[in-house]
Chains A and B, each alone.
Chain A
Amino acid sequence: MSFNGSKDLVEEGDVVILYIAPSNMHSLEVTPKTLNKKGILVENVFQTVYGALKVASLVGAKYGAKVDLSRGWAYVLQPTSDLWTLTLPHRTQIIYTPDISNIVYLMELEPGDTVIETGTGSGSLSHALINAIKPHGHLYTFDFHEQRVSVADIEFKKHGLERYVTVEQRDVCQTGFGDALEGKANAIFLDLPHPWLTIEHATRCFRKSGGRLCSFSPCIEQVQRTCEKLMSAGFIEIKTIECLQRELTVQYKTVPVLKLECLKSKHTDDNRNENNGKEVGGLERLVTVSHAHSLPGHTGYITIATLPPIGRRSC
């Protein structure tokens, strides 16, 4: 229940983030017992590179507190949507915070909005969407994969978010979003192999006042077909962007400095001997950054469009 509002203390049943390093974080559910591989209930012990953690010992700890591992320490954090995205169990490819930020921003979400998402996938974006529209908004999220739907449903319940979300198994390309959602949404998000097949269904789900539709696709061909469809369906302000986040590693760099000025005049012998005959000026210590040698060069294209209110649409 640790996803719905700030908490000070860890309670049983919470999902917490165990922080060891920026690239070494884990999400875990605080339960005293867990099922092992053989399906037998055993004590819940979490293994890290710095040794084991008895998960039950977290109950009552302050969020943000240091916790002891058998060979080191870690911090226990309350999940934010960013931390959750970095630690959630992957069932599919997921969308990460840089893209999520743009999606939420470009869909112009605010508390109270009704949003449709498809597909649910691993629920990375779903958590961010819920975060943006709660407490009086609602997310309807669809996936055609039965198991993903049921796991996501359980996850939302465990996270205390079930009030804000409805998960349903449905192939929206085939059957649309259902009559119940017609005229309900102010934002619709598509992450599908064939997003262009759902545009007509999606258009029907927008409110009379219109809204924003966002589609996330890795391939430019998908984008082209989607944009064409959006144009003919009366969408305006159709834009496609891609955004890459580059991490900069701050570091000290020591660089030698050559002394060339002194070569212009004759030097004493003593001086030359000291430097083994070379003219060395010394070292300078700088704070600078290094760039990643290899990084994601492409995630996906974000296509975003506005559907004007009824009566102002061109189609």
Chain B
Amino acid sequence: MNELDAEVVKVGDYVVVQRQNYYKLHKVTANGNLLLGKDQLEMSSIIGRPMWTTYKMEAKVTGKRLYTLLETKEVESLSKDLKSVLPSGLDNRSIIDDGTSQQLSTEDIVGLREAGKSSKEIVGKLIENSKTFQNKTEYSQAKYLKKKEKKYFEYITIRKPTIRLIQDIYFRMDHQKISSLRMDTLAQLLSYSGVNADGLYMVYDSGSQGLPASAMLHRIGAGTNGKLIHMHPGNIPQRTLIQAMNFPEEQLRRMLTVNIYSLIRMYYQGTEQFLEVSKYKAKSDTLNVECIVLESNDTDFTEDVANPKVPKAEAEVKAEGITEDNSSNRAVNSFESKGLKRKLKDAPSHEPPKKPKWLIETQEAVEIMKVTKADGLAIIAKEHPLNIIKGLLPFLGISRPFVIYHSSREPLQETYVALKQRSDVINLRLFANFLRSHQVLPDRTHPDILMSDTGGYLLYGYLVD
């Protein structure tokens, strides 16, 4: 499908900028800069060039860490070039850490950098002026060079965003932004939800930057018949990581993003009743027509959702907190989502006869749900999941799986106990995962020093008659 050179970087696309083992998501703008650590990169030269292109960072003004990008095919590797020519010690018996092994002062090193020296020159100087480097063992030298290389590495590669890369970026940067969804948990969530190119899937997500919906839409694929209903609890859905995948329009259209309150209310009460409530509320509150739908009359949903565990007021505060969090986060496109928010707020007052997009999508989702039951359901909740699953199970087909993720075990335990009492849920299982990565090098293979223990919990089951 995607042959080399077929995919060039366009303005508006998202790309992943890779600098060695560091990755960052970037939205391409006509004249944008990217802050990579302390370095400012002028990104405009990547436009029109294929993905996977490597660039050398060239200092624009000597002394400032502002760089332009120069396309290159060659990447200098410090560890290969410098290591092979130097002698090394057998062990560390003669190495004493007295803080004087490096003869260069911090100013000297900064000076080298400001003089526009290349990373190879700088690191070469560092080694030259190190009393102990030549006594270090071969392995220790390699480790030292790797560390320095990381600091002074001058090459970046532009990559196409994938679910794996963006999950990794967010999990490392701030795992709570994606509900601490670890790679293995997300992978299992996708498997257990049964999502594939065929059928209708539902996902409820309250604040993971859209990662689960994005991953499910990716599995549904381009040019297929699969559909996704993406439910969220707030005024504005979190879509950063959906946009980050640069899905084609055709694929995005098969995902309907709806507010869960609006969806359930419209399903049970009908569009007219639903609009009446909105209109009535709109008069009393001209500030924000959209959110009225979510904030009122929680009591008249269905019997199932009627007893929320979290008091209403608190839930609202929470929902707001999440949205605020979203807008204030410094993710790449935060300014964009703010723009979107403004637009949504303004829309009704300027052109009242036009149906807002959210209303059209909600109606569409209700129409689909009236005739088709979902083939799989995934819930990634910050809230207590019990009422959510109770509210959504009526829309799941029988013989179809559901899976609930929560970062804490207790809400899932309680949900388990409640679902176990129902006769229409089977194969209920609660999981947690252990994930460990390994360093694999000749004679130096061992588990990585650091691992993550924030994998969260998955509750999985099937709905039956």
Chain A residues in the interface with B (C-beta under 8 A): 4-6, 19, 22, 62-66, 75-78, 80-82, 97-98, 100-102, 104-106, 108, 110-112, 128, 131-132, 134-136, 207-210, 220, 223-224, 227-228, 238-250, 287-289, 301, 303, 308-312, 314
Q: 25 A-B residue contacts at CB 8 Å?
A: A19-B464, A22-B427, A22-B429, A62-B398, A64-B398, A65-B398, A77-B462, A77-B464, A102-B187, A105-B187, A106-B164, A110-B219, A111-B220, A111-B221, A132-B219, A136-B224, A207-B3, A210-B52, A220-B440, A223-B445, A227-B440, A239-B437, A240-B440, A241-B436, A246-B432
B391 interface residue per 8 A CB criterion:
no
Q: A111 CA to B220 CA in the complex, in Å?
A: 7
Contact B413 A111 (CB under 8 A): no
B460 to chain A, nearest CB (A): 9
Partner of B442, one of A97, A112, A128, A228: A228
Q: A5-B198, A19-B426, A111-B222 are in contact. Are A64 and B464 (CB under 8 A)?
A: yes
Q: B375 at the A/B interface (Cβ < 8 Å)?
A: yes
B39 within 8 A of A: no
* Interchain CB contact under 8 A, A110 and B221: yes
Residue contact B416 to A100, C-beta cutoff 8 Å: no
CB pair B437 A308 closer than 8 Å: no
Residue of B nearest to A252 (CB): B417
Q: Quick one: which of B176-210 are within 8 Å of A by CB?
A: 183-184, 186-188, 190-192, 194, 196-199
Query: Is B445 a contact partner of A220 (Cβ separation < 8 A)?
Result: yes
Residues of B within 8 A of A110 (CB): 218-219, 221-222
Interfacial chain A residues near B410, Cβ < 8 Å: 287
CB distance from B251 to the nearest CB of A (A): 10
Bound CA–CA A301/B439 (angstroms):
12
**Does B106 make an interface contact (CB < 8 A)?**
no
A5–B400 Cα gap in the complex (Å)?
12
The smallest beta-carbon distance between A198 and chain B, in angstroms, is 18
- When the two chains form their complex, are residues A111 and B196 in contact, meaning their CB atoms are under 8 A apart? yes
Q: Assuming the A-B contacts A63-B399, A75-B464, A78-B399, are A247 and B431 also in contact, with contact meaning beta carbons closer than 8 angstroms in the complex? A: yes
User: Which B residues form the contact surface with A (CB < 8 A)?
Assistant: 1-4, 6, 52-54, 73, 75, 157, 162-164, 183-184, 186-188, 190-192, 194, 196-199, 218-224, 375, 397-401, 409-410, 413-414, 416-417, 420, 426-438, 440, 442, 445, 457, 462-465
| B464 contacts A80, C-beta separation under 8 Å | no
Q: Are A108 and B163 in contact (CB under 8 A)?
A: yes
Extra pairs beyond A19-B464, A134-B197 (20, CB < 8 Å): A22-B428, A63-B399, A80-B401, A81-B194, A100-B191, A101-B190, A102-B184, A104-B190, A105-B163, A105-B186, A106-B187, A111-B223, A134-B198, A220-B440, A241-B436, A243-B433, A248-B409, A288-B413, A303-B440, A312-B54
Q: Do A63 and B398 have beta carbons less than 8 Å apart?
A: yes
A248 to B1, CA, bound (A): 42
Q: How far is the CA of A223 from the CA of B397 in the complex (A)?
A: 42
Q: How far is the CB of A65 from chain B (nearest CB, A)?
A: 5
How far does the alpha carbon of A310 sit from the alpha carbon of B163 in the complex, in Å? 23
Is B196 a contact partner of A244 (Cβ separation < 8 A)? Answer: no
Establish whether residues A136 and B223, one from each chain, have CB atoms under 8 Å apart when the complex forms: yes
Select one of A62, A82, A100, A244 contacting B401, CB under 8 A.
A82
Q: Across the two chains, which residue of chain B brings its CB closest to A308?
A: B52
8 pairs of A and B residues whose beta carbons are closest in the complex: A64-B398, A111-B221, A64-B399, A105-B187, A63-B399, A101-B187, A101-B191, A111-B197
